[in-house]
Amino acid sequence: MEVGRLGVDGVNAANSVIVAPKTAQEVAQIHLPEVVVVVLGNLEKRNPATHTNARKCDSSRNTSWTNDNALSCDDGNACTKNDRCSAGKCIGTPLNCLSPCEECYNDACRMKSGYCLIFEKGTKTCVSDGNSRSGRPCQKCDTSKSVSTWSDNDGAACDDGNICTRSDKCSNGQCKGTPLTCNSICQTCNGNSCGLKTGYGFSNGKCKCKINGRDYDHHILNPSNPCQWCDLLDVTARASSTWSNRNGAYCDDKDKCTKRDVCNAGSCKGQSYSCQSSYPSSSCIRTSECVGDGSCRDIMRTKGTVCRSANDMCDQTETCDGRLGICPAFVVDSVTVTTGTVKIVDQNFHNTIFYQHVTDKLFVTISGFNVSCGKMNLRWFLLPGASSCSGSSLANGIIQSTNNLQTLSGLTLQDGKSYKISIAASDLRDKIQHRECSSAVIVDTSKPTHGWVHDGEADDLDYQSSKLFQVNWGGFQTRNGIDNYDWKVLLTSYGSSPNTELTTFFSAHLSTHMDIRISNITDGSKVQFVVRAYTKAGLYGEVKSNGIIFDNTPPVAGKVFAGADNNVKYATWRKKFYTNWNPFNDPHTTMWRYTCAIKKQGNQLSTAYRDNALNRSATFSELALISGEKYCAVVRGYNNAGLYTEATSDWVLIDYDAPLAGN
């Protein structure tokens, strides 16, 4: 046995000894008082009455049960939760399930079917299925959709609180009605329809004034008083169903000697005024009468009444015209001077010019100047080209005749200066109108210098075979630019020394190239072009081309030889071929060049033509001549007109094989 301490009620635990038996026989031999031995920490046997085992064995109190507070337990009540031991008892926290929506089940609240449990603003609300939300008929409990939130009660009747709608129904959880289209001026809403305000009518969608049982449109005048009308916005008049006054509106009081007639308190009244009844005899007004707008209408004297006699031959007697009341006293009839145009023209008075080479006169045309009465005087003024039309003149004079073409002579015009003419016209009273000026003309006595004329379309040619002759020119220098080019053709026939004028001068305008076809020209003839370049002042400089010789006949061929010095019949050449030839001749032009090539008998050329300049011998290298075959040289001789003649040498037999021995 093992000896230990035993805690028993009424016994000092310190003096108690427990002999722990080691065998069953030893235990059977021990006789002790009714004592329960419990292992430290084990609980008391469960109390079936309280469903608790709320006490335990604690070594600090080893002779009695100790309460085990906060120990999880089961109080046997389904409507509590979080059951804990407290003071030896098992106590749970009440669930507070919301009746009738919830019931207690396994220490928790469980929803019953047929209810919605909705939590809002910190409070749970229990609602039976199909019932509407308090104060919000467009929401209801619909357990088929949700048991925790409100569902839309679409289609249910409701009231949206707006008397200007009707047939209010729930839609998407909101109460909505069909708006009443009441006119805010004359109608009111009653929740189902539109009613009329006092003093108003309504028809054809428009508000009316209700006066004496009749409807009138807005701003319709009172048939018996134009100072009153229907004013839908006049609340006072509408309340009494009467006309509204048009205070300040214009009206007519039917009195022509009043003005500014306006409506006031329903009546038309104007301010009185008067008109002058008589006028002096110098006036064309006999009397005046009221018009009604504050003005006076003049009654004129008889048409033709004289009020002023004529001042001179161009002045007319003034009379009253029966319409205007003012006689133009002390006013002399004006004489109208019509100004025209003045132009500086060429000596033939045809075209306006801007340059001239004449230094002592100007040619002028004057047109369009006229005077309505009496004689017209014209005076001319010579002005610097850059001055204003009214500037100081260099010379002036009177135009004596009425001829529109005038030559102003005796002038001193300086080269390089510009001038213009102004014309001043005046009437018999010597009233001068403003001057009219011509355009400025520049005096230019210089002629074009330099310049060149080339035979051919571009380059300056010496010979050609075509009968279409072309010419181009340029390089002329002038002070103020070129105005025109003229050109002609000279022909020197072959064998004749003097040239003849094939054409007269033609205008090329400003073109710098021309062409002409000469059909009956003979070989060896020379064509030259003469070009005149004109300044804008009319002077010209003339340049003649060097001339071009026409040759439409190929040259006469010279003899062509095979070999470097003499004409060979046989040769042992393998890679080279030698040729030379006599000069080719042309009676009208000189030779330009030679080209040559090698040809194999029966075949085309063995080489391409090569340019040999004016050399009359050639050596071809890097060939592959075949023994037993014949070859010749082909030479073309070109004249300076571009025509050629072709000649060939005799055939040369190539034989570089040794003869075979006989038998």
Best CA proximity match to 233, nearest among 195, 185, 184, 198: 185
Residue 4 in this model has a pLDDT that exceeds 70: no
294: left (phi over 0), alpha (psi -120 to 50) or beta: left
Residue 106 in 3-state DSSP? coil
Place of tokens 């003096």: 15
Residues 152, 138: Cα–Cα separation, whole Å: 6
Residue 2 in this model has a pLDDT that exceeds 80: no
Mean pLDDT of 73-86: 83
DSSP 15: G
pLDDT at 36: 56
Residue 35 in this model has a pLDDT that exceeds 80: no
The chain-wide mean pLDDT, for the chain, equals 87
Angle (CA) 278 283 285, round 5°? 55
Measured CA distances, 241 to 186, 224, 652 (Å)? 12, 16, 142
Place of tokens 């008083």: 225
Burial class (CB in 10 A: 0-12, 13-18, 19+), 642: middle
Residues 272, 245: Cα–Cα separation, whole Å: 23
CB 630, CB 653: distance < 8 Å: yes
Q: pLDDT, tens digit, for every residue of 467-493?
A: 999 999 999 999 999 999 999 999 999
Q: pLDDT, tens digit, for every residue of 178-209?
A: 888 898 889 888 878 888 889 898 889 899 99
Residues 28, 315: Cα–Cα separation, whole Å: 177
**CATH ID of 337-443, from 2.40.40.20, 2.60.40.10, 3.20.20.20, 3.30.70.920:** 2.60.40.10
Residue 28 in this model has a pLDDT that exceeds 50: no
Place of tokens 């319709």: 220
CB 506, CB 486: distance < 8 Å: yes
Q: pLDDT, tens digit, for every residue of 391-429?
A: 999 999 999 888 899 999 999 999 999 999 999 999 888
Residues 343, 436: Cα–Cα separation, whole Å: 10
Best CA proximity match to 334, nearest among 431, 425, 424: 431
pLDDT at 412: 96
Spell out where 267-361 has E strands: 267-272, 285-290, 296-300, 306-308, 318-319, 337-338, 341-345, 355-356
Residue 295 in this model has a pLDDT that exceeds 50: yes
Q: Where are the alpha helices (DSSP H) in 255-412?
A: none
The dihedrals phi and psi of 130, each to the nearest 5 degrees, come to: 95, -15
Residue 164: count of CB within 10 angstroms of its CB? 17
As given in the structure block, the two tokens for residue 508 are: 């090329």
pLDDT at 12: 41
Q: pLDDT, tens digit, for every residue of 235-273?
A: 898 889 999 999 989 998 888 999 999 999 989 998 999
pLDDT band at 563 (very low <50, low <70, confident <90, very high): very high
pLDDT band at 30 (very low <50, low <70, confident <90, very high): very low
pLDDT at 205: 86
Question: Which residues, including other chains, have CB under 8 Å from residue 108's CB and lie 6 or more apart?
Answer: 81, 95
Best CA proximity match to 453, nearest among 543, 548, 549: 543
As given in the structure block, the two tokens for residue 129 are: 């299925």
CATH 2.60.40.10 correct for 560-654: yes
Residue 1 in this model has a pLDDT that exceeds 90: no
Higher pLDDT, 430 or 484: 484
CA quadruple 396, 401, 402, 407: dihedral, nearest 10: -60
CATH of domain 452-550: 2.60.40
Higher pLDDT, 557 or 174: 557
Residues 552, 573: Cα–Cα separation, whole Å: 40
Mean pLDDT of 69-76: 80
Residues 34, 241: Cα–Cα separation, whole Å: 116
DSSP 274: -
pLDDT band at 143 (very low <50, low <70, confident <90, very high): confident
pLDDT at 41: 58
The dihedrals phi and psi of 296, each to the nearest 5 degrees, come to: -120, 140
Are 337-443 and 560-654 equal in CATH topology? yes
Residue 210 in 3-state DSSP? strand
% residues pLDDT > 70 (the chain): 91
pLDDT at 179: 87
Residue 15 in this model has a pLDDT that exceeds 70: no
Q: pLDDT, tens digit, for every residue of 308-328?
A: 878 888 888 888 888 888 887
Mean pLDDT of 429-449: 91
Mean pLDDT of 3-31: 43
pLDDT at 640: 95
Mean pLDDT of 4-29: 42
pTM for the whole thing? 0.49
As given in the structure block, the two tokens for residue 483 are: 């105005």
Measured CA distances, 173 to 115, 158, 160, 566 (Å)? 20, 11, 12, 129
pLDDT at 22: 47
pLDDT at 3: 37
pLDDT at 43: 60
Is the peptide bond prior to 100 cis by the omega test (within 30 degrees of 0)? yes
**17-21, 64-68, 356-360, 632-636: range with lowest mean pLDDT:** 17-21
Domains of the chain by residue range: 113-171, 337-443, 452-550, 560-654
pLDDT at 293: 87
pLDDT at 47: 53
pLDDT at 456: 95
